[in-house]
Amino acid sequence: MTQKVLLICLALLLCVFGGAGAADSPSEKELCAAFDHLEESVGTPSGMPEATYLDTLLAFLDNSPAAGTVWEETRKGRGTGVGVAFSVPTSMDRFIQYMYDPDIPVSAVVPGVVRLVRDNGSTPSGKGTYARLAEPEGGRETPIAVRSRYVMEITPDGNSGAYYGYDQNELTLLSSRNGRRFLLTASRQTAPSDVGKKGYPVATRDGGTLYCYSGKTGLTKAGLGWVDSYIYTSIAITVYYEDAPGSGTLKAVSCKWLNAGWMGKNMVRPHHIAEGIERFAQHLGRFLTSPNIPEPQALAGLVRQVRESGDQGLRTVLGNQLEALVAPDQKRASMMDREYVKGLDREELVAGILSTHVESLMAGGDPAFLNGLLGKNVGAKDTSLLTRRIASPVSQIPAGADPALN
């Protein structure tokens, strides 16, 4: 297998980060072996990744700069590969409390990146293990591993204007090295995505951004409205590592391989992936540093309150949110009317309410606004929302459009 890895400014990095206690930066061969092993670990039903490969990835992170693209790679059968380093402005405990609380959808933490996530095969015991991640000092003495499968739908891509839903398996591992805790996630798409659909950013009165999901196939990029596009394969390995034992900041690196396009051709370029990872890091940092965001327990309580509403109550709440936040003369505002809300399923309604609320909070909106709407519109209780999800079937690629993996 032909493999090419570009370790950017490696000599300089060794000078900067190669002080006492720092492991040497891994070789190209060692890094590729670690990636391969972690990808294989995603597909195994149990067990932990081997310590040698974890050490390789942590050494790579320790020897990477604080931010920016740290490597580029193209492997046959994987599509375009890029790794980006970034900082996370919070402690490991607080990060986990937001990102891995079973009651807080990830779309409520990074609403500008993830539209919604639907469980697809997670077991009650698996969800209980996710809760273990949030225990104080979890993973410090004994590693905690969680395996899950879910359907993720992302917000419209900044380059093509399309949004996609895809099924993937994921391994999450919380452990420690030399007193510093780290959290690793490795995921692999199980099948080609749903066909890409047109999505549009819509500005709000308070300076935030919401997204309109048209349900119509195609891209919004000029001249490409006719395209049937897919994410053929996607692999991601991300690790978050404490800057020091118990520190209030994390260093992270996210490595992603992507093959996406149309007519079986991979249209992804390295800068597309880098921009996507940087977008995630930006939105995560914005959420974690916003003074308006509720503490994790309060946010989880709000989610539970939302999920107690009946479908009609949810439609009323989201409709009122959009009417209040989107000016009638705003571009695309007419697409987000009551008829638009009426066409959303329960998962989409709840995700829409929460992401709209959080986006408004980060833009300086009123924290009490959603509570007021819920108080007026809560209908019949239905506790099934986040515990009995309906898995969306992944579309089949039309005949003659099989992916050309490169």
Does the structure show a pLDDT above 90 at 278? yes
Give me the percent of the chain exceeding a pLDDT of 90: 70
Q: Quick one: pLDDT band at residue 12, thresholds 50, 70, 90? A: very low
The pLDDT of residue 23 is 72
Tokens of 351: 């995700």
Average pLDDT over residues 46-60: 95
Does the structure show a pLDDT above 80 at 249? yes
The pLDDT of residue 402 is 37
Angle of CA points 75, 402, 395, to nearest 5°: 110
Residue ranges matching CATH 3.30.530.20 in the chain:
7-291
Higher pLDDT, 7 or 53: 53
Average pLDDT over residues 67-79: 80
Tokens of 345: 């399923």
User: pLDDT tens digit string along 90-149?
Assistant: 999 999 999 999 999 999 999 999 999 998 766 555 566 788 899 888 899 999 999 999
The pLDDT of residue 284 is 98
Neighbouring residues of 319: CB distance < 8 A, sequence distance ≥ 6: 338, 341
Three-state SS string over the chain comes to: CCCCEEECCHHHHHHHHCCCCCCCCCCHHHHHHHHHHHHHHHCCCCCCCCHHHHHHHHHHHHCCCCCEEEEEEEECCCEEEEEEEEEECCCHHHHHHHHCCCCCCHHHCCCCCEEEEEECCCCHHHHHHHHHHCCCCCCCCCCEEEEEEEEEEECCCCCCCEECEEEEEEEEEEEEECCEEEEEEEEEECCCCCCCEEEEEEECCCCCEEEEEEEEECCCCCCCCCCCEEEEEEEEEEEEEECCCCCCCEEEEEEEEEEEEECCEECCCHHHHHHHHHHHHHHHHHHHHCCCCCCHHHHHHHHHHHHCCCHHHHHHHHHHHHHHHCCCCCCCHHHHCHHHHHCCCHHHHHHHHHHHHHHHHHCCCCCCHHHHHHHHHCCCCCCCCCCCCCCCCCCCCCCCCCCCCC
User: pLDDT tens digit string along 350-370?
Assistant: 999 999 999 999 999 888 999
Does the structure show a pLDDT above 70 at 164? yes
On whether the CB atoms of residues 318 and 349 are closer than 8 A, the answer is yes
The pLDDT of residue 79 is 76
The pLDDT of residue 158 is 83
The pLDDT of residue 73 is 81
Q: Is 167 left (phi over 0), alpha (psi -120 to 50) or beta?
A: beta
The pLDDT of residue 206 is 86
The pLDDT of residue 391 is 31
Please provide the average confidence, as pLDDT, over all residues in the chain.
85
Of 25-29, 72-76, 148-152, which has the strongest mean pLDDT?
A: 148-152
The pLDDT of residue 24 is 85
User: pLDDT tens digit string along 295-310?
Assistant: 999 999 999 999 999 9
Does the structure show a pLDDT above 90 at 176? yes
Tokens of 79: 């599509």
Give me the percent of the chain exceeding a pLDDT of 70: 84
User: pLDDT tens digit string along 19-51?
Assistant: 334 578 898 889 989 999 999 999 898 889 999
On whether the CB atoms of residues 259 and 233 are closer than 8 A, the answer is yes
Does the structure show a pLDDT above 60 at 389? no
In Å, the largest CA–CA distance within the chain is: 63
User: pLDDT tens digit string along 186-243?
Assistant: 999 999 999 999 999 999 998 889 999 999 999 999 999 999 999 999 999 999 999 9
Domain 7-291, CATH among 3.10.20.90, 3.90.550.10, 3.40.50.720, 3.30.530.20: 3.30.530.20
How far apart CA 47 and CA 173 sit, in angstroms, is 11
In this structure, the number of other CB atoms found within 10 A of the CB of residue 180 comes to 19
Q: Quick one: pLDDT band at residue 328, thresholds 50, 70, 90? A: confident
Q: Quick one: pLDDT band at residue 312, thresholds 50, 70, 90? A: very high
Does the structure show a pLDDT above 80 at 280? yes
Tokens of 359: 């986006």
The pLDDT of residue 376 is 60
In this structure, the number of other CB atoms found within 10 A of the CB of residue 195 comes to 20
The pLDDT of residue 314 is 97
How far apart CA 398 and CA 400 sit, in angstroms, is 6
